[in-house]
Amino acid sequence: MSKINARLLIVDDDTDILLAAKMFLRQNISIVHTEKNPQNIPNIIKNENYDVILLDMNFSRDATSGQEGFHWLNVILDHDPAATIIFITGYGDIELAVQGIKEGATNFVLKPWDNKKLLATIQASLRIRESKVELENLRSKQKVFIADQNQHHSNLIGSSQSMQKVMKVAYKVAVTDANVLILGENGTGKEVVARAIHRASNRRDNVFISVDLGAITESLFESELFGYKKGAFTDAKEDRAGRFEVANGGTIFLDEIGNLSHGLQSKLLSVLQSRKVIRLGSSKEINIDVRLICATNMPLYQMVNENKFRQDLLYRINTVEIKLPPLKERLEDFAPLIEHFIETYSHKYKVPKKRIGAGTMKRLQKHDWPGNIRELQHAVERAVILGESTVLEPHDFFIPDNDEKDDDGFNPDTLNLEEVEKVLVRKVIDKYGGNISRAAKELGLTRASLYRRIEKYGL
């Protein structure tokens, strides 16, 4: 039988115990070290890593109380909180051994022990050790992921009076757990504000989960947000946590909340009130602790008056409300925004950093930018990629030389199929107040196809 690949340390002041344990265990475990003097423990664990430590509870000068064993238990755990420790006791004091487990030991064995039971106890403790290490690795990866995620999302940018007001409210509410509702046109940066609030909050070291409610069908709403048990429906091959569970301890951002039907609004409200979710196919309630931030470009107050949005849900989600201005009302912010995007995409695509002249800046400020910051961001990205000069000109941003348009919003001098489609998509979305489902139906598109066009044209 092959040996278990593990490192084991046995600490006991009885030389006979150490010899007997080592002779047996080295037949089954790759590395077995012994130590008679517990005073050497700090130096040993400083220089060596062990998967399992067998520790005597009672040394010669402290024969029966177990206090010396507890002392060395704490010393080891202070050095390595994930240490797996098995207490050895020769007096059959079960109550004392149980107290040791409560204080951090993994298990205990009684002297004299049965070799098979001793080996089984060590093997079980090794599995616990593996779980502890895996958990610590996951926590470490989560911290790295969160730090990386935060690094790749920009902070709030803007010196205009309207954006300064937004920033003041955002950072003031961030340190609380109050629910926040962010209102604004498509592309104004609602998720950027939500992430900034999260990064400035006490939950910054936990996850930020973004959910586009407009892209989730009614049939998938509960399984996506609340999770499901294996067998709950045909494709449920395994248990899966919903977005609320995943966001536990962090922030959940519900975008496009105005697109929810009345039925889904009721289900969401129930979860927000109880702060509990029940996975599909289960009856067990799961407590959730999340910071809620919602966003929409739809007129929620008007929708409440028209009985299209629940008033009690609106009150629940808008403890603090933030209204984002459209880009055309933030002329002072064009320069810092464009500079930020040029810096970002020059680094991303590894091209020399380009600059923009004053004339081009004025030309960009005159454009309507119906897609707001998202449209500007995509325009700068294209300019960085395709611009042939170190100085970016208006044509690098694919902005028509003449922004005067006819009544339908078309530019007659540069009329082409993509421009027609872009204007048509925008007009139909505006017609239905941002309701993607109704707009897609009128255009003869699926929701997914419409979302692709919205992304393509920066709407």
Q: Domain boundaries in the chain? A: 4-135, 162-325, 326-399, 406-459
- Provide the pLDDT for residue 407: 45
State the DSSP H helix or E strand holding residue 276, giving kind and residue range, or none if neither: strand 276-278
User: Is it the case that residue 348 has pLDDT exceeding 60?
Assistant: yes
What 3-state DSSP class applies to 294? strand
| CA contacts within 13 A on the Cβ side of 22 | 16
Q: Are 309 and 265 in contact (CB under 8 A)?
A: yes
Place of tokens 């009672």: 58
State the DSSP H helix or E strand holding residue 441, giving kind and residue range, or none if neither: helix 436-443
- Provide the pLDDT for residue 152: 53
> What whole-number distance in Å separates Cα of residue 454 and Cα of residue 452?
5
pLDDT band (50, 70, 90) for residue 60: low
Residue range 267-324, pLDDT digits in tens: 999 999 999 999 999 988 999 999 999 999 999 999 999 999 999 999 999 999 999 9
- Mean pLDDT over 1-18 rounds to 87
User: Is it the case that residue 184 has pLDDT exceeding 50?
Assistant: yes
**DSSP state letter for 182:** E
- Provide the pLDDT for residue 405: 47
Residue range 158-175, pLDDT digits in tens: 889 999 999 999 999 999
- Provide the pLDDT for residue 154: 58
| CA contacts within 13 A on the Cβ side of 335 | 7
Which CATH number is associated with domain 406-459?
1.10.10.60
Q: Are 223 and 280 in contact (CB under 8 A)?
A: yes
On average, the pLDDT of the chain sits at 86
User: Is it the case that residue 150 has pLDDT exceeding 70?
Assistant: no
Q: Are 90 and 163 in contact (CB under 8 A)?
A: no
Q: Give the dihedral sign, CA 36/40/43/49.
A: positive
Phi then psi dihedrals of residue 10, to 5 deg: -115, 125
- Report residue 83 as tokens: 């240490």
- 142-151, 189-198, 385-394: range with lowest mean pLDDT: 142-151
- Provide the pLDDT for residue 404: 45
> What whole-number distance in Å separates Cα of residue 280 and Cα of residue 303?
30
Q: Which CATH architecture has domain 326-399?
A: Orthogonal Bundle (1.10)
Place of tokens 């064993």: 69
Whole-model pTM above 0.95?
no
> What whole-number distance in Å separates Cα of residue 459 and Cα of residue 454?
5
The proportion of the chain whose per-residue pLDDT surpasses 90, expressed as a percent, equals: 47
- Report residue 395 as tokens: 């044509």
- Provide the pLDDT for residue 406: 45
Give the CA distances from residue 26 to residues 9, 103, 119, 421, in Å, rounded to whole numbers and listed in that order: 11, 29, 11, 75
| CA contacts within 13 A on the Cβ side of 229 | 11
β-pairing, 240-241 with 227-228? antiparallel
- Report residue 63 as tokens: 């024969």
Q: Are 280 and 239 in contact (CB under 8 A)?
A: no
- Provide the pLDDT for residue 258: 95
Q: One fold for both 4-135 and 162-325? A: yes
Residue range 374-425, pLDDT digits in tens: 999 999 999 999 888 888 988 888 876 555 444 455 554 555 667 777 878 8
pLDDT band (50, 70, 90) for residue 142: low
Q: Are 290 and 248 in contact (CB under 8 A)?
A: yes
> What whole-number distance in Å separates Cα of residue 443 and Cα of residue 450?
9
Partnered with residue 209 across adjacent β-strands are 252
User: Is it the case that residue 358 has pLDDT exceeding 90?
Assistant: no
- Provide the pLDDT for residue 428: 80
- Mean pLDDT over 117-143 rounds to 79
Partnered with residue 32 across adjacent β-strands are 8
User: Is it the case that residue 346 has pLDDT exceeding 90?
Assistant: yes
Q: Are 310 and 262 in contact (CB under 8 A)?
A: yes
Q: Are 394 and 364 in contact (CB under 8 A)?
A: yes
Q: How far is Cα of residue 54 from the mean position of the Cα atoms in its chain?
A: 39
- 60-74, 80-94, 353-367, 405-419: range with lowest mean pLDDT: 405-419
- Mean pLDDT over 57-82 rounds to 76
pLDDT band (50, 70, 90) for residue 149: low
User: Is it the case that residue 129 has pLDDT exceeding 60?
Assistant: yes
- Mean pLDDT over 64-80 rounds to 81
- Provide the pLDDT for residue 412: 47
User: Is it the case that residue 341 has pLDDT exceeding 60?
Assistant: yes
Query: Domain 162-325 belongs to what topology?
Result: Rossmann fold (3.40.50)
Q: Select 4-135's CATH number: 2.120.10.30, 3.90.480.20, 3.40.50.2300, 3.40.50.300.
A: 3.40.50.2300
